[in-house]
Amino acid sequence: MKFYNLHTHKFINNPDVFELVNQYPWEFDETISNYSVGIHPWYINETRLATDLKIIEEKLQLSECLALGECGLDKRIEVPMDLQIEVFEKQIALAEKYQKPLVLHLVAAFDELIEIKKHLKVSVPIVIHGFSKSEQLAKQLIDNGFYLSFGKYLLRNKEMETVFKSIPNDKFFLETDTIEETLEEVYQKAALCKTISVEELQEMVEKNWNTVF
């Protein structure tokens, strides 16, 4: 059975791993077989915004483009929040148009995210990658229809073990993002938290993958 990697910046091309590789429109690699493409809030560039959105729209029409992302909101950077929201909402509109899931980078803007989802009546699945917050916030997000993806913080923050254990089995994904550890190590830790075998965990993630993608 395969391992599914919801979000990675490193294309390893391992036959045992189905990986969703993060791509940016301004440095696109045609050789990557399954990817998401989007404008990260850190890298919003107004002078090339129209071009970036055009490339994203072109890629969303291809079968190998599985999702739009990572995009989102980050309150801890200097990019003005109104600009971030504008770019985020334009990308949501594209995801809706082509019915592709969204993979999000989200920092300290969870209330804004929930409000935007309700206001725009977003219908496509939304996955928040690299989740690192409380059990209470996790529950709030899941109750509002979001999926959560775990990786780095599950390996490095003991408190995240309890949070991950509380996540319903049909609402989570696993990822490596930019960490040095392998995806198998993430799965081993996650299986330990859920007190199940790695194989059982793989079945859960595969089922979630098929539901979302």
Question: Is the pLDDT score of 94 beyond 90?
Answer: yes
What confidence score (pLDDT) does residue 93 get?
Answer: 98
Mean per-residue pLDDT, 53-65: 98
Q: What percent of the chain has pLDDT over 90?
A: 100
pLDDT tens per residue, range 130-163: 999 999 999 999 999 999 999 999 999 999 999 9
Computed from CA positions of residues 9, 42, 39, 136, in that sequence, does the dihedral angle turn out positive or negative? positive
Q: What is the C-alpha separation between 146 and 143, in angstroms, rounded?
A: 7
Residues forming beta bridges with residue 147, ordered by sequence position? 127
Judge whether residue 13 has pLDDT over 90: no
Looking at every residue in the chain, the average pLDDT score rounds to: 97
CA angle 107, 108, 110 (to 5 degrees): 95
Q: Which two tokens stand for residue 62?
A: 């291809």
Domains of the chain in sequence order: 3-212 (3.20.20.140)
pLDDT digits (tens, 9 = 90+) for 24-37: 999 999 999 999 99
Percent of the chain with pLDDT over 70: 100
pLDDT tens digit string along 154-204? 999 999 999 999 999 999 999 999 999 999 999 999 999 999 999 999 999
